[in-house]
């Protein structure tokens, strides 16, 4: 079953900022980053319980890029809330912070 994915504002901002940064480094790399993130969303939607649970949230490692997708699965609502698309060099305590 595929579930609905909802992106929190922080996640959208993190995707946009990171894609922009990668694109400035190498033309086309920003597009590759966005594609990797959306492929990750598809993998999560196919089996949201398959990934490690930490502090009430789940983490998915984005292939090729040093990012984690931090999400919560609301099974009764069939919704996956993406809180962050988190660069792994950031302080780990920020992974689970909600605004």
DSSP assignment of 31-96: HHHHHHHHHHHHHHHH-GGGS-EETTEEEEEPTTSSEEEEEEEEGGGTEEEEEEEEETTS-GGGGG
Neighbours of 32 (CB within 10 A): 15
pLDDT 10s digits, 6-41 = 999 999 999 999 999 999 999 999 999 999 999 999
Domain that holds residue 77: 4-88
pLDDT 10s digits, 33-86 = 999 999 999 999 999 999 999 988 999 999 999 999 999 999 999 999 999 999
Q: How many distinct structural domains can be found in the chain? A: 1
Q: What is the CATH number of the domain that holds 41?
A: 3.30.2310.20
Please tell me the pTM assigned to this model: 0.89
Tell whether 98 is covered by a domain. Answer: no
């Amino acid at each position: 079953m595929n579930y609905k994915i909802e992106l929190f504002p922080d996640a959208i901002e993190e995707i946009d900022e990171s894609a922009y940064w990668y694109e400035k480094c190498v033309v086309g790399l920003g597009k590759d980053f966005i594609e990797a993130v959306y492929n990750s969303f598809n993998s999560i939607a196919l089996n949201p319980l398959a990934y490690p649970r930490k502090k009430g949230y789940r983490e998915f490692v984005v292939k090729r890029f040093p990012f984690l997708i931090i999400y919560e699965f609301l099974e009764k609502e069939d919704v996956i809330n993406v809180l962050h698309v988190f660069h792994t060099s950031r302080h780990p305590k920020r992974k689970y912070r909600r605004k």
